[in-house]
Amino acid sequence: MGVLVPWRSRVRTGWGVLSFLSGRPGVLRGLGPSREVAPLQRVHYRTMAQRPAMVQLDRTQFDLIVSVFALAVPPAWGSALRHVLAHHVVRIRGLRGIFQDSHGDHTSDGNATAGNSVVLLLRYLASSIDDQHLFGNLSRAGDGSREKVARLLASTVEDERGTLKLPSSASRHDKVLLPEARRYLLALDGDHLRVEDIHLGYELWNADQVLKRILPCDATVPTSFESVGHIVHLNLRDEHEPYKAVIGQVLLDKVKGSRTVVNKVDSTGGPFRTFQMEVLAGEPNLRASVRENGCTFQFDYSKVYWNSRLETEHRRIVESLSPTDILADGFAGVGPFAIPAAKRGNRVYANDLNPDSILHLVENASRNRVDPPELLTTSTGCARQFFRSLIESETPFTVAVMNFPAGSPEFLDVFRYAYRSKATPLPTVS
Ligand SMILES: C[S@@+](CC[C@H](N)C(=O)[O-])C[C@H]1O[C@@H](n2cnc3c(N)ncnc32)[C@H](O)[C@@H]1O
């Protein structure tokens, strides 16, 4: 039976489980790269109210070790039991809840202590920790009591009709073994369970969990950030000022694909809807590359407007165009409506007040091989003038796009009476 043994002075650890079997050295069971830490300590976190805030990221402060109950079963039944007991198994992103244990021993009666076995790390804590709710599906149920946990597992198979069903994907072999596995579970008692220590290193904590520990208890955890290519963009509050470098570092570590973290230092302002930003962490490279609706857009995020949350709206408009539609985009930005539309073969007129937007739009059009390039005509200037000159020159367009939340209705007057004496068709305004 597995027992808790004192921590060794130096063990190899990584993202995963340290399996301590009686008299054996700690064995790394985990995913991802290993690293040396010495010595590993059992960390007793203070309650949220007591812990100090962190202005510099100390990743070792996140080496949390928790003890959970585990069930080692004979390999033959492993697959069937992992289906049946799935909801009792620990679920923490990046941690393997079920693994082969080639070091253990289990006896022929299935008492799970000899030979190769399949170990199911159960989600029930064998020792109490603060903040356990922060991690996956760990639970206090059966805390400290093997018998209670054993009963919980056995109860899974008491109702033969309901919970004992295997998914249709389960193998025939598993289905044949199921009654045997069921008998095993019904006979289970506390002695079948062992205790395993799980090392929840920094790698396993998500951004929210790390930030909750880092910031003072009464501070808001910044949860809403936007990713624009490799750039993570935050809008921090004054209360975050002392912690902004550490917040930046955490997001750099935790947001997949991020290489730069920036903070908005003023509200999105000015007609170009760009904002001042400071780099909190990572490389000071604000040239983003974003893939949207089948096109690649590259731009300097400090000079032009971009909002990844508009992807669906961009797609909705573009997909609503019929092949004969002619699009006039008065506030075109770097081209998220104009370029996919031209790529579909629609004739497009694109305009923006910001010269940098149009520079990027032209580059993006050639990057995305708008063919023929003449499908797209660009201009820099005020949208009012843009629409007026199209109408006055009787240049036909069937769809006008005005994505300027700050004040597009104020531009609608350009259409009033404009078509009275014109033969050109009336456009739809979006
Ligand atoms: C909300 S952004 C939309 C950009 C683009 N359509 C998109 O969806 O990403 C508004 C754009 O309008 C431009 N703009 C602001 N005032 C303008 C004006 N009077 N005439 C034309 N463009 C203007 C800004 O430079 C900015 O690129």
- Closest approach atom of ligand 1 to CA 305: 27
β pairing state of 117-125 and 27-37: unpaired
Least confident of 7-16, 242-251, 262-271, 335-344: 7-16
Higher pLDDT, 282 or 164: 282
**Ligand 1 centroid to 352 CA: how many Å?**
6
Q: Which range has the worst mean pLDDT, 47-56, 112-121, 231-240?
A: 47-56
Q: Residues 256-265: what's their mean pLDDT? A: 95
Distance from the Cα of residue 139 to its chain's centroid? 23
* Mean pLDDT (the chain, rounded): 80
Nearest to 215 by CA among 239, 236, 190: 239
Instruction: Work out the average pLDDT over 344-368.
Output: 98
Which stretch of 174-178, 252-256, 259-263, 330-334 has the lowest confidence by average pLDDT? 174-178
Tell me, what's the pLDDT at 354? 97
CA atoms within 13 A on the CB side of 102: 2
Of 118 and 340, the one with more pLDDT: 340
Assess whether pLDDT exceeds 70 at residue 315: yes
Average pLDDT over residues 287-299: 97
Is 403 known as a binding-site position? yes
Distance 430 CA to ligand 1 centre (A): 14
Q: Element (H or E) spanning 341, and its range?
A: helix 338-343
Q: What is the DSSP annotation of 51-110?
A: SPP-SS--GGGG-EEEEEEEEEE-HHHHHHHHHHTGGGB---TTS-SEEEESS-B--TTS
Nearest residue to 139 (alpha-carbon basis) of 226, 68, 44: 68
pLDDT 10s digits, 207-224: 998 998 899 888 899 988
Give CA–CA dist 64/27, Å, rounded.
17
Please give the torsion angle defined by the CA atoms of residues 363, 365, 367 and 370, in that order, rounded to the nearest 10 degrees: -150
The Cα 25–Cα 7 span in angstroms is: 10
Q: Ligand 1: distance of its center to the CA of 306 in Å?
A: 10
Q: Give the residue from 197, 204, 201 showing the smallest Cα distance to 8.
A: 197
In the reported structure, the alpha carbon of residue 251 is separated from the centroid of ligand 1 by a whole-number distance in angstroms of 29
Q: What is residue 50's predicted lDDT score, i.e. its pLDDT?
A: 52
Q: Mean pLDDT, to the nearest integer, of 230-241?
A: 95
Among the listed residues 335, 225, 212, the one whose alpha carbon sits nearest the alpha carbon of residue 280:
225
Which of 309, 337, 352 to probe ligand 1 with, by most ligand atoms within 8 A of CB? 352
Count Cα neighbours of 10 within 13 Å in the Cβ-side half-sphere.
2
Lowest mean pLDDT among 29-38, 213-222, 266-275: 29-38
Q: What pLDDT is attached to residue 343?
A: 97
- The residues, ordered by sequence, that sit 6+ positions from 234 with a Cβ below 8 Å of its Cβ are 222, 225, 247, 248, 251, 261, 262, 263, 264, 280
Ligand 1 pocket mutation, candidates 353, 361, 385, 387, criterion most atoms within 8 A of CB:
353
Residues flanking ligand 1, CB < 6 Å: 271-273, 305-307, 310, 330-333, 336-337, 352-354, 357, 382-383, 403-405
Residue 285 annotated as part of some ligand binding site: no
CATH C-level class of 218-285: alpha beta
pLDDT(37) > 80: no
pLDDT at 20 over 70: no
- Residue span(s) of the chain under CATH 3.30.300.110 come to 218-285
What pLDDT is stored for residue 211 in this prediction? Answer: 92
What DSSP state is assigned to residue 5? -
Burial of 145 (0-12, 13-18, 19+ CB in 10 A): middle
Given this model, what pLDDT does residue 190 score?
85
Secondary structure class of 6 (helix, strand, coil) = coil
Could you identify the atom of ligand 1 that is nearest to the CA of residue 407?
16
Distance between CA atoms of residues 340 and 290, nearest Å: 13
Most confident of 3-12, 27-36, 269-278: 269-278
235 pLDDT band, cuts 50/70/90, is: very high
pLDDT of residue 2: 32
Answer yes or no: is 208 a known binding residue: no
pLDDT grade for 134, boundaries at 50, 70 and 90? low
Q: pLDDT band for 143, please (50, 70, 90 cuts).
A: low
Q: What is residue 243's DSSP assignment?
A: G
When pLDDT is averaged across residues 7-27 and rounded to a whole number, the result is 27
Say how far apart CA 133 and CA 140 lie, in whole Å. 9
Reply yes or no on whether the pLDDT at 13 is more than 60: no
pLDDT (0 to 100) of residue 157: 72
pLDDT (average), residues 16-27: 27
Ranges in the chain annotated CATH 3.40.50.150: 308-429
Per DSSP (E only), the strands in 256-381 are 260-264, 277-282, 287-292, 295-300, 326-329, 347-352, 376-380
Q: Is 293 left (phi over 0), alpha (psi -120 to 50) or beta?
A: left
Q: Say how far apart CA 54 and CA 211 lie, in whole Å.
A: 9
Q: Please indicate if the annotation marks 166 as binding a ligand.
A: no
Q: Has residue 31 got a pLDDT over 80? A: no
Sheet order of strands, 27-37 included: 27-37, 11-19, 193-200, 64-73, 117-125, 98-101
Architecture of domain 308-429: 3-Layer(aba) Sandwich (3.40)
What is the spatial distance between Cα 93 and Cα 206, in angstroms, rounded to a whole number? 9
Separation of 260 CA from ligand 1 center, angstroms?
25
What is the Å distance from ligand 1's center to 354 Cα?
Answer: 8
Pairing of strands 376-380, 347-352: parallel
Q: What does the pLDDT look like over 192-211, one tens digit per residue?
A: 899 998 888 899 888 998 99
| CA–CA distance, 205 with 333 (Å, rounded to integer) | 38
Confidence class for position 19, pLDDT limits 50, 70, 90:
very low
Three-state DSSP class for 239? helix
First to last CA, the chain: 69
